[in-house]
Chain A
Amino acid sequence: MSKIEKALKRAGEERGNLQVVAPAAPEGRTAPWTALVGQQVERPETISRMAENEHKLLSAEELWVRGIIHPQQTKEPAVQVFRELRTKISQQSQGQNAVILVAAVSGGNGASFIARNLAAAFAFDSAKTALLVDCNLRNPSVHELIPDTSLPGLADYFENPEIAVSKIIHPVGIARLRAIATGRLRENPAEYFVSTKMRRLIDSLRERFRERFIILDGPPMSDIADARILSELSDYVLVVARHGRATNAQIENGLSAISSSKLLGIVFNDEPRIPWLR
């Protein structure tokens, strides 16, 4: 549990249902979300509006079945790990929202798992929101989280200029977490990311909700072109390597595709641990 969360929890217990948020920034991007504990501020409009739009939230068990962490699973080591990772990114971005690309060194390394759980971990914090964008066009997975698969997604946004950004962002049953699925894909979706529209989309998403962390569920690094473009669009990159799957050559190859200034590090996924021995 991060310091902020601990502080929030304690504040809630001591002084009633007070929300701790950052003071409104005078101009442009918001100041870091580092409010002092006990400092009474107004709930930001975005989050309150978001709360109104929340559909039925999924229970901890339902999330668990879907392979998504929940703050109540305090005994689960993975929860702890994702919280720490979130805190690390938070510190790195100095409290500002950021665009984080999560890409595996090759297919089957579990980048989608890491991306959605990182998004969920950001959404733990009631002062933050998270947006999960499925950028893995060849092997999409975010749509599984969205109850209605017929809803428009990224491809629809690119194909149809009349669709507004807000139309492709959908709730997934987790508080403060929204997702953009791939939508109905054309045969050759490769040119989406090179278009200026993609850059505009990312910028608008970033600017629209200042407390929102955008997590891009990226394609494998073996698809170097897409991975490189997406890494340029993002603030940070996390490279996912799975135990017993990723080879050193693949890691080497993946690391060569991204600039080291954006690289947050490697996420070593699926480390075997006996579940009852914690």
Chain B
Amino acid sequence: MYPEQIVKVLINESFHSRWLVVGMFVIMNVVVLTAGLLWPKSYTGSTSIVVDEKSIMEPLMKGAAVATETQDRNRNAREVILGRSIMGKVVERAGLADHPTASEQEGLFEKIKARTTVIPVGRDVIKIEYRDSDQNRALFVTKAFADLFLEEMIAQKESDTRAAFDFIDKQAQEYQQKLTAAEEELRQLRSSNLDARPGSEIELSARLIALNTRIENTTMELREAEMKYASLERQVNGEAEVSVLATREAQFRARIAELQAKLDTLRLTFLDTHPDIVQLKHQIQDLRAEAVAQRERRDSAKPSDRVEGDETVVNNPVYQQLRRELSQSRLTIDTLKARIAEARRLVQEEVNRGKGLHGGEARLVELTRDYQINREIYQDLLHRRERARVSINMDSDRQSASFKILDPATATLSPSTPRFWQFVLGGLMLGVLVPLGFLFTRLQFDPRVRLANSISERHKVQVAATVPHLWSPVELTGLRKELAILALVVTATLALSATLSVVRFLGIL
């Protein structure tokens, strides 16, 4: 169906069911007007509060510790506002009930909760709205909500700040103790290990190097002395204790050698037959014979030791000399050995001392490191503690801008419920729309045929004629009367609406 067809059909149907339509119009108007009269007035109080609910721990502990995540701001605010403590105080302050019983109070809380809305406006602002039939009460309750919420939040923040301060203070004290303990330990270590001071190790190693050098040098000297001693010993063994035999034989040999030299020189000039040479040969021969005889004599005389001592028993001076040197050399060897032993003992001593020095120094480094770290943390904590102290002072002076009322509590001057004229208008509109809607629905769903079009569409049969009602004169007269009555009823309904509107406007009802 086209829209104009629908309009035409609805007009005709309305005319056909005129009593029904007018009846529904009247009923709708009466119902809505009654609702408008009985509708409770409602005023809305509202206020906005800036909430910066960052934990105080967060800025104070920034960089030093990781803060826990902050809770959902709005949910938190709503929980605080609609919590029992604030609600109880609101009831008390706004004078909503005098000494209510527990169940009454519970009911009252539920009522207030139902009428209160906490709306987040932007990031850090929340809006509290409260509806009430009484304008003043709406204002009072909203104001009480704002004040109490603010007090609660500031108190909470103060306690947060205090808790943060206490925590930092406790930490600072702990670190102070640690620092003191570390200092004490250092002092003890220093007093117990006097050597334990910076540079001791270098000194020690220098000394060890010197001692080792000395040991090496002395060892070399010892080697030399020992070699010398061995050589002297060998010499002493080779040398005769007495030098006489050796002297006579040597004399012969020296004489032989001298004569031989002389012989050789003569042989250069003369023949062997030269008398000088022959003489010389004889002399040499004699001397050799003598020398052999001497030797034999000496060898035979040996067991009896000084058989012919009286002849040449003289101490051999070389031997004596060697003996002296030998003795001297032994002395030197002993001295050197003693020196080496001493040096080694010293080295051992130094090594032992060095061991102690190492342990002490490691402990010292550790203690120093702990001490330094503790000192840094302690100093940091001292700074933070001072900042927390300032925060506390700020909180106590209400200098902190985290919480404040942005928009003071106000209540709407006129009720926020629909105005009476809106009810009147609504009644008129519903009075027209509901019957029309009913008629339209009936057209769609009633099995009885109301449209010629629907017959031809549904039964595939042409509609030969659409005969309108033939109004007889009597019927027309009756219809005129009917319409007059209906017009009267509609006028009366409109008059009722108008009258009630005026009465309501003048504040009589």
A interface residues, Cβ below 8 angstroms from B: 61, 64-65, 67, 69, 76-78, 81-82, 84-85, 88, 113-114, 117, 238-239, 241, 243-249, 251-252, 255, 263-275
User: Are B472 and A67 in contact, CB atoms less than 8 angstroms apart?
Assistant: yes
**Residues in B neighbouring A61, C-beta threshold 8 A:** 473
Q: Are B448 and A82 in contact (CB under 8 A)?
A: no
* B465 contacts A84, C-beta separation under 8 Å: yes
Contacts of A275 in B (CB 8 A): 469, 471, 476, 479
Residue of B nearest to A273 (CB): B468
Say yes or no: A268 contacts B472, CB within 8 Å: no
- Give which listed residue, B16, B467, B479, contacts A267 with CB less than 8 A: B467
Q: Is the CB of B461 within 8 A of A266?
A: yes
| Chain A residue at smallest Cβ distance from B470 | A78
By the criterion CB–CB under 8 Å, are B452 and A268 in contact?
A: yes
Contact of A241 among B16, B449, B471, B472 (CB under 8 A): B449
Q: Is the beta-carbon distance between A269 and B463 smaller than 8 angstroms?
A: no
Q: Can you list 28 A-B pairs with a CB-CB distance of less than 8 A?
A: A64-B472, A67-B472, A69-B470, A76-B470, A77-B468, A81-B465, A81-B466, A85-B465, A88-B464, A238-B464, A243-B450, A244-B448, A248-B449, A248-B459, A264-B464, A265-B462, A265-B465, A266-B455, A266-B459, A266-B461, A266-B462, A267-B465, A267-B466, A267-B467, A268-B465, A272-B13, A273-B12, A274-B15
Which bracket fits the contact residues of B? 20 to 34
The reply to whether A251 and B455 contact each other, CB–CB distance below 8 Å, is yes
Nearest chain B CB to A236 CB, angstrom units: 10
A274 in complex: contacting residue of B12, B448, B459, B462, CB < 8 Å: B12
The 4 closest A-B pairs by CB, nearest first: A265-B464, A272-B16, A268-B452, A85-B465
| Contact in complex: B467, A265 (CB < 8 Å) | no
Q: Which of B12, B461, B476, B479 contacts A271 (CB 8 A)?
A: B12
With A266-B461, A275-B479 known to touch, is A65 a contact of B472 (CB < 8 Å)?
A: yes
Residue of B nearest to A113 (CB): B470
Scan residues 129-155 of chain B and give those whose CB is less than 8 A from a CB of chain A.
Answer: none
Which chain A positions have C-beta within 8 A of B506? none
B-side residues, CB < 8 A to A, are 11-13, 15-16, 447-450, 452, 455-456, 458-459, 461-474, 476, 479
Whether A81 contacts B467 by the Cβ 8 Å rule is yes
Which residues of the other chain, A, contact B469 by a CB distance below 8 angstroms?
78, 270-273, 275
Q: Is the CB of B449 within 8 A of A243?
A: yes
Q: Is the interface of A mostly helix, strand, loop or mixed?
A: mixed
Residue pair B473, A271 in contact (C-beta under 8 Å): no
Residues from chain B with Cβ under 8 Å of A265 in the complex: 461-465
Q: With A and B bound together, what is the CA distance between A65 and B476 in angstroms?
A: 11
Among B449, B470, B471, the residue within 8 A (CB) of A247 is B449
* A268-B470 contact given A243-B449, A245-B448, CB 8 Å threshold: no
Q: Which of A67, A76, A247, A252 contacts B448 (CB 8 A)?
A: A247
Cβ–Cβ contact A268 & B473, under 8 A: no
Which residues of the partner chain A approach B464 to less than 8 Å between Cβ atoms? 85, 88, 238, 264-267
A274 CB contacts on chain B under 8 angstroms: 11-12, 15
| Chain B residue contacts of A244, Cβ below 8 A | 16, 448-450
Known: A241-B455, A266-B461. A81 touches B468 (CB 8 A): yes
